Structure 1
Amino acid sequence: MADALVLPEPGPPRATWLRARKARPPLLLSRRPRRRLGRLRWRGRRRLRRRLPQARAAGAAWREAGCPAAPRKSEAASADPAGDPAPSCPAVLPIPPVRAAGSGRAVLLLPLGQGFTFSGMCRVTCLYGQVQVFGFTISQGQPAQNVFSTYTHCRLTINAVHYSVHEKSKKEMKREARTLLRSHLNQDDRYCLMQSFSPLCSIVLLERLKTSTVNFIISHPGLSYVFVQEIPTFQINSEYFALRSVGIRREKKKNGLRLTESAFSVMEELVSVSCEEADGCPVILVCGSQDIGKSTFNRYLINQLLNSVSCVDYLECDLGQTEFTPPGCISLLNITEPVLGPPFTHQRTPQKMVYYGKPSCKNNFENYIEIIKYVFSSYKRESPLIVNTMGWVADQGLLLLIDLIRLLSPSHVVQFNSDRGIYMPDLTPDYVDDMDGLYTKSKSKVRNRGFHLTEFAESLEFADEEKESPVLFTGYKLMSVKSEFVSGKTPRNRESHNKVLRELAVLGYLGQLQPPVPKPLCPLHGLTPYQVPFNAVALRITHADVAPTHILYAVNASWVGLCKILDDVRGYSHGPILLAQTPICDCLGFGICRGIDMEKRLYHILTPVPPEELRNVNCLLVGAISIPQCVLKTQRGLEGTIPYVTTDYNFKLPGASEKIGAREIEETHKEKIHPKPRFHRKTS
């Protein structure tokens, strides 16, 4: 090629240069054919991506044109310890094939090690092999699981994991998979799907999921984005329509959940300790600053533990971002089912719960500690316990955390650290022993006075600085997790974002009032409330001082905790009955005081708590947790003037501390009631 073209000497005129350029041999391509070749290469890449799954299944070492084969994960890790991508062009990963299996159903084939990241909600059944979702393993023959992958949290991924085949040949495995698919796919789709089948593949059935709770949440304007977002796409194919019928959409892998190696290492050790017979009930306390990934770690750890043990206990000490209850609660739960979604999709009934009434414990630490002691006393040490703590780890928050460590005496403390988070010292046992908490003294000041945990829980007193509180100093293992979790929250929008999550948790709880699917939704103002006489329950406003003459204004249209106190209130002939102090008592659930009948002296309470539990309720606690605005303003079916919402409001009125506006007393019907039960349905 080089000797086929004789270049002229330097300095020729332009005409000579043009003649020389035209005299080039035809083997060299001009610009226009070169551009055409580029387009052909791009189309060839598209064909290559479509053929890649079949090629991988056949065992061929395919790669992109002009790029070397991508190394395996283990080879890449050994070649580049820092985890940086290799300079060479990476190979194109195969796309898991999806086939429609009728209306609202799709079949997904996942090769070993491949994942399917999606958004939306669906019901996942493993037809063949074994998959893992959010740390929970779903095997062939196990019940289907409801999976919620929302836009408020990281998207979830269905990963194919290794399973035992008992020395089966590829032909036998393929025959078994084909037999299982006969009841789900037609012959053509079954043939196309089996073309991509390889040893240790997993086959998953995705079904459309409808729940009354989710339907209730998305029925409010502006909240449909939580599960479904209409994002324009240019890949309109059979897979798109199959996933759309299920109610999900494929997401990029970078949007999925990613945990660090240190998090996986800590979880592996905790699962191993929990499975040991000698010490099978560890107390695991998880701490760290805000938005660092503690809640995600707890959910993943619960699912990992449920793969090996039958149940896991969970102690909620975070008032603002609770996991299984509405906000403002300290609770103890026994978890027996996996957690495959955000908190507002799995509201559950606790084993023991106390309503604190505020999303933060500032200015009232003593009551916060006393409530934790009261709830923790119900832990029976029959299963592993996970303790979730607040993200406030600065100043007094750190001292309060030290008190919790001494109070709960954990066997393992998992501390999250991040380069972007608030600095937090390593909470080693020596550091905790040498530091004073808010209400406990360091080891050097206690003068070697130690007590057992039960005695400590009974004898911890909060007095002035001169009185020393007895503390038990026990050793625990500190486990550090390096977090790389990137949160979309900023100091400016953190409070508003957290408020949205709290409101979603309240809506998830209220969704239990709805009839089961497929019955249509019923607006809250169309449901029949319970009628409660004034003299059957006591009242207490926990977060503010309200004059007795205005306390009914504060209770009306409020979020109330349905509690049980030891005092008997049946001796009072008239009401309302007001409590002078906030009691530490069991909370059996929550409701809305949707109206007050002053003539009959009745509260109208709307709650999903069953009637057999309501018989024990004799106290209503009203805290700073408010009803979401969308419930009052944007419910479907409202006509005319919206109840409880007005612009003519005097905020100087004692007790007028709600930020959502004034609430007018709803007109109540005048039906005859039976005086004996405390809670009973209002007759229509």
Structure 2
Amino acid sequence: MADSVLVLKRGSSRSTWLRARKARSQLILGHRPSPDVAADLTTSCSAILSIPPVRPAGPGRALVLLPLGQSFIFSGICRVTCLYGQVEVLGFNISQGQPAQDVYSTYTHTRLTVTAVHYSVSEKSKKEMKREARTLLKSHLNRDDRRWLMKNFSPLCSVMMLEHLKTSTVNFITSHPGLSYVFVQEVPPFQINLEYFTLRSVGIRREKKKTGLRLTESAFSVMEELVSVSCEEVDGCPVILVCGSQDVGKSTFIRYLMNQLLNSIPCIDYLECDLGQTEFTPPGCVSLLNITEPVLGPPFTHQRTPQKMVYYGKTSCKDNFENYIEIIKYVFSSYKREAPLIVNTMGWVADKGLLLLVDLIRLLSPSHVVQFSSSRSKYMPNLTPDYVDDMDGLYTKSKSKVRNRGFHLAEFAEHLEFADEEKESPLVFPGYKLMSVKSEFVSRKTERNRESHNKILRDLAVLGYLGQLQPPVPKPLCPLHGLTPYQVPFNAVALRVTHADVAPTHILYAVNASWVGLCKILDDVRGYAHGPILLAQTPICDCLGFGICRGVDMEKRLYHILTPVPPEQLRLVNCLLVGAISIPQCVLKSQRGLEGTIPYVTTDYNFKLPGASEKIGAREIKETQREKVHPKPKLYRNTH
């Protein structure tokens, strides 16, 4: 029996990532230096500088001098360059000589913190260090600024330059009425002084300590172990699945973890399974990405092109669990096991949501499961390997344990890449390590405002994606109605509405002025004389990007599509999928330069028509609120 059991090992890879982690002699985590060293250095530094001084360094520029361990909490956006020493932002270390990083500390999320962290100091005298620092700073600063820095200089300090930042995406978002508050809020400061005006010229303002990011000791401990495992494991790449209820800090933890990993290894893979709050794509997608750059802002500031993406079309999978699972299988099959994989899951962990999570654990076979808990969230059982082994999922049954605490999953064999002789043997996935994080994350969301808050974040993600249509700074913004769309013949692409049954005679009404997924299906749609070509079922296919169908020309039988997808990728598109993700209303109502009647906007609307009052693009939370949470153990006590 033992000989017939195949133990699935994570495919070993000798990629550049593997060579880099082997070459690394030791792991240095930026968030906390050695306790003894930190105590001595912080004490000596505090005697020199009690607060980080800020000095203007020209129009839109500011110098900040930070003692070791001291933090600078701010709101707004800026470009950060470390001129001397080393600073940390959201877990990512920026050292002298490294490229500048664009940092986005928005009012929709927790304020970001820049912290001076420990760095190696060679055995030199203070005079030699000052001479070295003066040489490094000579190419960046004028004489007066260098004199000011040398006067306050200490080998334990870090010097950073903050510069005014403008991007086409930010300009596009803030061009819509009411959205400038996302980056800048004109709230009277506690005190007005030179520092206030200096930072204001950069586009930021200092914030109080209580508004900054605070991670618990358990979060840091889990993160430290995961970074160590990712850098030292030689048998394969760790697969890290993060789960927990809504608004407990999962996304913030993942951003911090990705940045910490990028301090040590060149790339990370990321699997997005949360349809409602996606990190790198517009909402309603399951995607796989390779991350090589730090994540220093909220999702709408770093929309990226995935390696693999499927457009599900809704922000919830409650109407079609099976299709959701099949899509994850399809996307996960592209994971090459050449870098650590971080898996983000939905915050729905009650009733069927918990059973679906059990299915995902069996399907993805993580090496580590990070489970978040909070005194403010609903009870969730500890997802130990024993619990998952004995628990039936929605589509998988509990299996008796076999050797090495594994899971017998023959039903998933056909979706993984094995030789034919290996497929005949039963699969055994090695058990994972459960890592618990006690969250004290403070969210502004409540049961009353959660839906509207999430809708705003989803709209911002769509706007961030559409911002790619804008010309680079310093060219002026161009309103969307002023951009030239692509003309797509009816018979060149197939159509499908994913979230509702639409009569063929009404299909073009559904497509017009809609958010569409630009997809590639295996079927050949050529050969049809007229069109439109309608699909009977929603395909599971690659989504290459998104666009707006800004018009339908019935005479010439053309769709007019506005999209940032490059032409070489558009040539592969042969299917348009329309889902429940809606275009933000500000795009339709608040475009600059519109005169007369605004297209697609009317006050003459009959809400009594079937489907007219549905909240397109909104999460379906009413049913969730009626669901019973997972049964609590008899001795469970609510700690609220």
Identify whether the pair has TM-score above 0.5, normalized to the shorter chain: yes
Identify the match of residue 560 of structure 2 among 604, 611, 631: 604
Identify the match of residue 295 of structure 2 among 318, 339, 360: 339
Secondary structure of the residue that 1:443 maps to in structure 2?
A: coil
Confirm or deny that 1:522 pairs with 2:454: no
Q: CA deviation at 1:635?
A: 1.5
Could you tell which deviates more after superposition, 227-236 or 200-209?
A: 227-236
After the TM superposition, which residues 453-602 of structure 1 pair with which residues of structure 2 at under 5 Å, given as runs? 455=413, 457=415, 472=428, 474-602=430-558
Q: CA deviation at 1:363?
A: 1.8
Q: CA deviation at 1:178?
A: 2.9
Identify the match of residue 164 of structure 2 among 204, 208, 220: 208
CA deviations 1:495-534 (Å, max 9, x no partner) are 0000000000000000000000000000000000000000
Are the equivalent residues in 2 in contact too, given 1:547–1:655 (CA < 8 A)? no
Paired position in structure 1 for 2:131: 175
TM-score normalized with structure 2 length = 0.85
Paired position in structure 2 for 1:629: 585
Q: CA deviation at 1:192?
A: 3.1
Could you tell which deviates more after superposition, 112-121 or 380-389?
A: 112-121
Instruction: Please give the alpha-carbon distance, in whole angstroms, between the structure 1 residues aligned to 2:360 and 2:494.
Output: 31
Q: CA deviation at 1:280?
A: 4.8
Instruction: Please give the alpha-carbon distance, in whole angstroms, between the structure 2 residues aligned to 1:156 and 1:458.
Output: 40
Instruction: Please give the alpha-carbon distance, in whole angstroms, between the structure 2 residues aligned to 1:451 and 1:494.
Output: 37
Could you tell which deviates more after superposition, 95-104 or 348-357?
A: 95-104
Q: CA deviation at 1:445?
A: 10
Q: CA deviation at 1:473?
A: 5.0
Paired position in structure 2 for 1:99: 55
Paired position in structure 2 for 1:199: 155
CA deviations 1:150-200 (Å, max 9, x no partner) are 011011111111111111222222222233334444444433333322221
Q: Structure 2 vs 1, CA of residues 200 and 158 (structure 1 numbering), >3 Å: closer, same or farther?
A: same
Q: CA deviation at 1:237?
A: 2.3
Paired position in structure 1 for 2:261: 305
Paired position in structure 2 for 1:141: 97
Secondary structure of the residue that 1:532 maps to in structure 2?
A: strand
Are the equivalent residues in 2 in contact too, given 1:545–1:655 (CA < 8 A)? no
Instruction: Please give the alpha-carbon distance, in whole angstroms, between the structure 2 residues aligned to 1:154 and 1:173.
Output: 36
Instruction: Please give the alpha-carbon distance, in whole angstroms, between the structure 2 residues aligned to 1:446 and 1:644.
Output: 60
Secondary structure of the residue that 1:640 maps to in structure 2?
A: coil
Paired position in structure 2 for 1:233: 189
Are the equivalent residues in 1 in contact too, given 2:409–2:428 (CA < 8 A)? yes
Confirm or deny that 1:379 pairs with 2:328: no
Q: Structure 2 vs 1, CA of residues 640 and 323 (structure 1 numbering), >3 Å: closer, same or farther?
A: same
Confirm or deny that 1:443 pairs with 2:443: no
CA deviations 1:41-87 (Å, max 9, x no partner) are xxxxxxxxxxxxxxxxxxxxxxxxxxxxxxx9979x99xxxxxxxxx
Paired position in structure 2 for 1:38: none
Are the equivalent residues in 2 in contact too, given 1:407–1:453 (CA < 8 A)? no
Q: CA deviation at 1:235?
A: 2.6
Unaligned runs of 5+ in 2: 1-32, 40-45, 418-425, 618-640
Q: Structure 2 vs 1, CA of residues 425 and 502 (structure 1 numbering), >3 Å: closer, same or farther?
A: same
Q: Structure 2 vs 1, CA of residues 101 and 93 (structure 1 numbering), >3 Å: closer, same or farther?
A: closer
Instruction: Please give the alpha-carbon distance, in whole angstroms, between the structure 1 residues aligned to 2:180 and 2:592.
Output: 14
Paired position in structure 2 for 1:164: 120
Instruction: Please give the alpha-carbon distance, in whole angstroms, between the structure 2 residues aligned to 1:134 and 1:273.
Output: 20
Q: CA deviation at 1:421?
A: 0.7
Instruction: Please give the alpha-carbon distance, in whole angstroms, between the structure 1 residues aligned to 2:110 and 2:101.
Output: 18
Secondary structure of the residue that 1:264 maps to in structure 2?
A: helix
Q: CA deviation at 1:400?
A: 0.3
Q: CA deviation at 1:277?
A: 4.6
Confirm or deny that 1:400 pairs with 2:356: yes
Q: CA RMSD in A?
A: 2.5
Are the equivalent residues in 1 in contact too, given 2:362–2:409 (CA < 8 A)? no
Paired position in structure 2 for 1:365: 321
Q: How many residues align?
A: 568
Q: CA deviation at 1:625?
A: 0.1
Q: CA deviation at 1:234?
A: 4.8
Whichever residue aligns with residue 408 of structure 2, its letter is G
Are the equivalent residues in 1 in contact too, given 2:92–2:263 (CA < 8 A)? yes
Instruction: Please give the alpha-carbon distance, in whole angstroms, between the structure 2 residues aligned to 1:595 and 1:511.
Output: 20
Instruction: Please give the alpha-carbon distance, in whole angstroms, between the structure 2 residues aligned to 1:617 and 1:244.
Output: 45
Whichever residue aligns with residue 583 of structure 2, its letter is I
Paired position in structure 2 for 1:353: 309
Whichever residue aligns with residue 494 of structure 1, its letter is R
Identify the match of residue 347 of structure 2 among 391, 394, 408: 391
Are the equivalent residues in 1 in contact too, given 2:52–2:72 (CA < 8 A)? yes
Are the equivalent residues in 2 in contact too, given 1:311–1:334 (CA < 8 A)? yes
Are the equivalent residues in 1 in contact too, given 2:363–2:412 (CA < 8 A)? no
Could you tell which deviates more after superposition, 181-190 or 636-645?
A: 181-190
Q: CA deviation at 1:452?
A: 6.5
CA deviations 1:307-350 (Å, max 9, x no partner) are 11110000000000000000000000000000000000000000
Paired position in structure 1 for 2:636: none
Paired position in structure 2 for 1:109: 65
Secondary structure of the residue that 1:374 maps to in structure 2?
A: helix
CA deviations 1:14-60 (Å, max 9, x no partner) are xxxxxxxxxxxxxxxxxxxxxxxxxxxxxxxxxxxxxxxxxxxxxxx
TM-score normalized with structure 1 length = 0.80
Could you tell which deviates more after superposition, 539-548 or 450-459?
A: 450-459
Whichever residue aligns with residue 370 of structure 2, its letter is V
Identify the match of residue 374 of structure 2 among 408, 418, 428: 418
Instruction: Please give the alpha-carbon distance, in whole angstroms, between the structure 2 residues aligned to 1:631 and 1:490.
Output: 27
Identify the match of residue 203 of structure 2 among 226, 232, 247: 247
Q: CA deviation at 1:107?
A: 1.1
Q: Structure 2 vs 1, CA of residues 657 and 545 (structure 1 numbering), >3 Å: closer, same or farther?
A: farther
Select the structure of larger CA radius of gyration: 1
Are the equivalent residues in 2 in contact too, given 1:332–1:352 (CA < 8 A)? yes
Secondary structure of the residue that 1:121 maps to in structure 2?
A: strand
Unaligned runs of 5+ in 1: 1-71, 79-89, 460-469, 662-684
Could you tell which deviates more after superposition, 121-130 or 437-446?
A: 437-446
**Percent identity at matched positions?**
85
Q: CA deviation at 1:100?
A: 1.0
CA deviations 1:258-305 (Å, max 9, x no partner) are 111111111111111111151351000000000000000000000001
CA deviations 1:383-407 (Å, max 9, x no partner) are 0000000000000000000000000
Whichever residue aligns with residue 97 of structure 1, its letter is P
Q: Structure 2 vs 1, CA of residues 443 and 91 (structure 1 numbering), >3 Å: closer, same or farther?
A: farther
